[in-house]
Structure formats: C-alpha cells, structure tokens
Amino acid sequence: MATPLSATQMKTVLKREGCEVIEYRSWETHERDAATGLHFGPVNGVMIHHTVTSGTDGSVSLCYNGRSDLPGPLCHAVAAKDGRIFLVSNGRSNHAGSGDDDVLRAVIAESYGSTPPAPNEQNTDGNDRFYGIECVNLGNGRDPWPEVQVDAMARWAAAICRAHGWSEKSVIGHKEWTNQKIDPRPSPGGADVSMPAFRARVKKLLAAKPGDDVPIVTNPQEDDVPQTVGRTDDGQKTRAPGDWKALSIDGVDIVKGAQAYSVTVHLALKAPAGSTLQGRFYHHRPDGSRWKGSIIERLTTAGSSFVDFHHDGDIKSAESLRFELAYFPAKSGDTAEAVITRSRVRGLYWKA
C-alpha cells in the first residue's frame, strides 16, 4: 500500500536529503494518467536511467515533452551533470516500460543479494510501479559520470526510499528491469554507476541522518495522503540475552490512530559478531492484549552492526504499533548485553 508521494512531499523529502531541486514548468500535474487511463501507483521502487543525450536544457525539455514515438513525460526527474535535479512529472511517466515480474517481486521483498534476478521476460508494466530518474549521459561507455551528478542521483533515490521506508534494494537500473536495455551504463574516469555500487551509496545515505528530522508536512484535507513517521533516538539502550522487550524510539508507540502503515526500524548496535537479533512489530490494544507480527531475524557483524526491520500492516485506530526486540548471543552462555547506540523509525501511515 505505497501511495505515490504528493508533489509537496516529493519536494520536501528531496530538499531534506540535500538535493538541489529545480521545478520544471507544470511538473506537478504533468503526467500520462489521463491519456492512458492508467494511474501511477501503488509504487514499489525507483529506477535509474541514462538519457543518451548531452546538455542540460535539451535533455530536460526532451524528458518533459517526449519524442514523436514516445509521449512525455519520460521520467519523474532528470539529473544534470552539475548535480541539479529537475522535476518533470509527479504522475505516470513513460520510463520503465515492460519488464520482468520476477524482478518486481524481488524488489517488493527487498530479498535479493547484490543484484536482482536477471530479467528475461517483458510481462509487467513498470510505469505505474516505479519512480524514474533520467541521468544526462551519452551511454556510450566513455562519457564520464561526475561525482556531483551521481551523488545527486543517489540522494534522489534515498529520499524516496526513506519516505516509503524502503531499503536500497528498492533501487534498480533499467537494465535490471528488462534485458532490452543497457542503462545506466558505467564508464571509466568518473563515479561508479554499476548498480551494486549505486545501491551501496543509497544504503550509506539511508544509514545517515537527513538534513533534519521534522516529519513531512502533508495536507490534512487529503485523507488518502499518508503521514510520515520519522523519529531518531540516540539514547543508549541495552538488551540482556533472551529478553524480549518493547523498544522505545523516543516513546514506544510508533503509530496511533492509523488504519494502515509501512514502517522500518533501523538500529545501530554493538554485540559480538554472529549474534542473532529478533525483532517483531505488534499492535498493542487498549485492554492490554495484542496482535503479534512474525519474527524478523538479523545477524550482527564485527564492530557496529546496522540492521533494519520492516513491516506493512493494517491496524485499528485504538491500537498502537510497537516494536520489540530480543538478543541472542553468538556464544551460548554469554551474559554480556547488546548495546543499541541509535534507534530510528521511518515510514508512512494512513490516518484512520
């Protein structure tokens, strides 16, 4: 149930992520919905493209207007070589075309390793499922990718992932969606746009704090527009082995008065490598009873570990969404506590 971000939300999250945003012409209403009878959303991910053009003005205008054989908009945003992000649409746009449903499933589950399964079918329309960015590059394997451009592309992707509570695995290249495409194509001499490297950038951004932590402002009149959850708690917390306990992230109630939600809890912690963390979302009812989600398991690494737990669900307005965590050390009998140094929750909810 990921509803596309409104134009206002899009601007807010991009600026918060540090993007220099240029609003191009009537981008807020420029879309293909009316012409196709289809609608943008529900959304599941973001897709990276190269334009096969050079020059900012001509590339942005082409992406807004389209070509004689492919009506615009051709994407939602254009990343210029100087790092500016031009917004050209906030609705359905012609960028993804048909791709492989196995890839879509892998993106939704965010379950794959370094790359999603190789696409070999064109059986699914991606234009209503993916946000798309066209990045100015000739795509000839020689046109370099400036660091400032690739940084802006990654911030654009991270801003959207953060707003929806997605990880970097919701970011794919066009060539990972269909075997008919080669974009984005890396070239020597600049920044690396191979998708595993690009996803690593997005992951790094998502692990950091964006510009500020204020929730995205939404219009209360639009009740189908989701509200944002965005809280960070730098208070140190400990977990004794085997002890299930609700986690307070600036309070234990993550969401209240909602009908649906999509949230991710991110934790930074220290525990011996190879220890297990089990996390579980649950709905706390006024009478003290509760509904429990399934257990999500994560392994710790050496040094600091960064783990996340995600859940989408429906909830009653009187119930509050909470998250509990248990720690099981790598060596049984180890009595040392796990130390959580930072807790964060990100996501969206729909008001009851």
- Work out how close the CB of 218 gets to Zn ion at its nearest, in angstroms, rounded to a whole number: 31
Q: Which is nearer to Zn ion, 49 or 237 (CB)?
A: 49
Q: CB of 143: closest distance to Zn ion in angstroms?
A: 15
CB of 76 to Zn ion, least distance (A): 13
- What gap in Å lies between CA 318 and CA 256, rounded to an integer? 7
Distance between CA atoms of 46 and 234, rounded to whole angstroms?
Answer: 30
Q: Could you tell me which residues come within 8 angstroms of residue 335 by beta carbon, excluding any fewer than 6 positions away?
A: 240, 241
Instruction: Kindly determine how many residues on this chain lie close enough to bind Zn ion according to the rule CB under 5 A.
Output: 3
- State the nearest-atom distance from the C-beta of 183 to Zn ion, in Å: 4
Question: Smallest distance from the beta carbon of 338 to Zn ion, in angstroms?
Answer: 44
- DSSP codes of every residue in 126-181: -TTTEEEEEE----SS-S---HHHHHHHHHHHHHHHHHHT--GGGEEEHHHH-TT-
Sign of the C-alpha dihedral computed for residues 145, 148, 151 and 155 taken in this order: negative
At which residue do the structure tokens 């493209």 appear? 49
Binding part of the chain for Zn ion, among 175-183, 199-207, 213-221, 271-279 by CB under 5 A, reads 175-183
37: left (phi over 0), alpha (psi -120 to 50) or beta: left
Q: How far is the CB of 202 from Zn ion (least distance, A)?
A: 18
Of residues 74 through 103, those in contact with Zn ion by CB under 5 A are none
φ and ψ at residue 196, rounded to 5 degrees: -60, -40
Minimum CB separation of residue 99 from Zn ion in Å reads: 11
Select 63 or 345, whichever has its Cβ closest to Zn ion: 63
Stretch that binds Zn ion, among 21-29, 47-55, 156-164, 275-283 (CB under 5 A): 47-55
Q: Under the criterion CB under 5 A, does residue 183 sit at the interface with Zn ion?
A: yes
When the beta carbons of 136 and 338 are compared against Zn ion, the nearer one is: 136
299-305 long-range contacts (CB < 8 A, ≥24 apart) are 299/274, 299/275, 300/269, 300/271, 300/272, 300/273, 300/274, 300/275, 300/276, 300/330, 300/338, 301/273, 302/273, 303/270, 304/268, 304/269, 304/270, 304/341, 305/267, 305/268, 305/269, 305/270, 305/271, 305/277
Nearer to Zn ion, 133 or 321 (CB): 133
The distance of closest approach from Cβ of residue 47 to Zn ion in the complex, given in angstroms and rounded to an integer, is 7
- Cα separation, 296 vs 160, whole angstroms: 24
- Which of 155, 162, 174, 239 is in the footprint of Zn ion by CB under 5 A? 174
Q: Is 174 or 284 the residue whose CB approaches Zn ion more closely?
A: 174
Is the separation of the CB atoms in 230 and 213 below 8 Å? yes
Nearer to Zn ion, 93 or 300 (CB): 93
Nearer to Zn ion, 43 or 206 (CB): 43
The one segment of 48-56, 82-90, 291-299, 331-339 that binds Zn ion by CB under 5 A: 48-56
Q: Based on CB atoms, which residue is closest to Zn ion, 100 or 183? A: 183
Alpha carbons 80 and 95: distance in angstroms, whole number: 17
At its nearest, how many Å lie between Zn ion and the CB of residue 83?
20
Stretch that binds Zn ion, among 84-92, 171-179, 195-203, 344-352 (CB under 5 A): 171-179
Closer of 31 and 183 to Zn ion (Cβ): 183
Site residues (CB under 5 A) for Zn ion? 49, 174, 183
